[in-house]
Amino acid sequence: MRVIAHAGKEDVAMVYIVELSKGRLVECVEAIQPPLTRQDKWVLLISTLFGCPVGCQMCDAGGSYHGKLSADEILAQIDFLVQKRFPGQKITSRQFKIQFARMGEPALNPAVLEVLDQLPQRYEAPGLIPSLSTIAPLGQEAFFERLLEIKQFHYQNGAFQFQFSIHTTDAAQRDRLIPVKKWSFTQMAAFGERFYQPGDRKVTLNFALTDGLAVDERILLQHFSPEIFLIKITPLNPTYRASEHGLSSAFDPTQAHGLHPLVERLEKVGYQVLISIGELEENRIGSNCGQYLRQYLTTQKPLPDGYTYPVQYTL
């Protein structure tokens, strides 16, 4: 593995472009969440695909796809970030979160399951919490069944975070935003009810709130029990693809009080609601999915001699 470029701030987030095989580049990220320190909570965001075939309208990792990472290539990203901060692979952070949520829909790569099965033995990390975010692509039922088995064996009692990326309760809007075949809300709910066990973290329903897209608590309540599912609200990040598709955040992340009416409606019907804004500095760093790689490839900066990327990006 070779680091091609990096950017960021040590006390917020560092994003790395790394080459894992000849001419194929991905991103990996390490982040903390001030005022928390790295000893309190350390977050890694790991790529699982070379690009992504899904092509979500707001994600810079999509629009191109050149294959799956192997388990070794996924682990190489984690090893690289761990060795920078915790030589010897003993991670002392009270919460050590590994998010399979960088470049690529993780449910499209079975190697993610191999990695999840190996992590508890690979690192000395009492605070380990894997996190998997998915659009639930149709046809990946075997992946989710195996994920359930691994979670029940290795990651009980709150040691795993599972998230469905929903973004809107309107089916037609969701199909435009996420233009592939995927599970219905009924299928998601059925799996979530099997996945959740007493003592676990609730299954997350994530909404990157986008101007003009519906969030109807009545539709959510028809499918998702507040006893099993919680709602996470984030702003829509200012990615290249979001701009190209005319998408903008439904709220100003510097003025989250504008969310109160929606939060009140959701809480009134019983949902726990998390508002996750993160550090605005990350937008300037370019640490949103695929953003830094795309920025790098569309500037005057050439790749090192002999290095190419098999995608033509245009702004």
Residues 6+ apart with CB under 8 A from 177: 56, 57, 58, 167, 168, 210, 213
Distance separating alpha carbons of residues 294 and 22, to the nearest angstrom = 18
> Do β-strands 229-235 and 203-209 pair in parallel, antiparallel, or remain unpaired?
parallel
Question: Would you state the torsion angle of the CA atoms of residues 182, 208, 75, 18, taken in this order, to the nearest 10 degrees?
Answer: 110
pLDDT of residue 122: 96
What does the pLDDT read at residue 246? 66
Question: In the chain, how many domains are there?
Answer: 1
pLDDT at residue 309 in the model:
35
**CATH code of the domain containing 77:** 3.20.20.70
The verdict on residue 60 lying in a domain is yes
pTM: 0.85
Q: First CA to last CA across the chain, in angstroms?
A: 28
Cα–Cα distance measured from residue 296 to residue 299, given in angstroms and rounded to the nearest whole number: 6
Please give the pLDDT value at position 302: 47
Domain-located, residue 305: no
Does a structural domain hold residue 314? no
Q: Is residue 206 part of a domain?
A: yes
Q: What is the pLDDT of residue 257?
A: 59
Check residue 260 and give its pLDDT: 74
Domain of 19, in residue numbers: 2-297
Cα–chain center distance at 111: 17
**Within a domain: residue 309?**
no
Question: Does 21 fall in a domain?
Answer: yes
pLDDT at 223: 98
Q: Would residue 99 count as lying in a domain? A: yes
- Structural domain contains residue 303: no
Closest listed residue to residue 197, CA positions, set 131, 148, 139, 250: 148
Per-residue pLDDT of the chain (315 residues; tens, 9 = 90+): 889 888 888 888 888 989 887 778 888 999 998 899 999 999 999 999 987 777 665 565 555 677 899 999 999 999 999 999 999 889 999 999 999 988 899 999 999 999 999 999 999 999 999 999 999 999 999 999 999 999 999 999 999 999 999 999 999 999 988 888 999 999 999 999 999 999 999 999 999 887 788 899 999 999 999 999 999 998 766 565 666 666 666 566 666 655 778 889 999 999 999 987 765 555 454 445 544 555 555 554 544 443 333 333 222
Burial class (CB in 10 A: 0-12, 13-18, 19+), 309: buried
Give the Cα separation of 191 and 184 in Å (integer).
Answer: 11
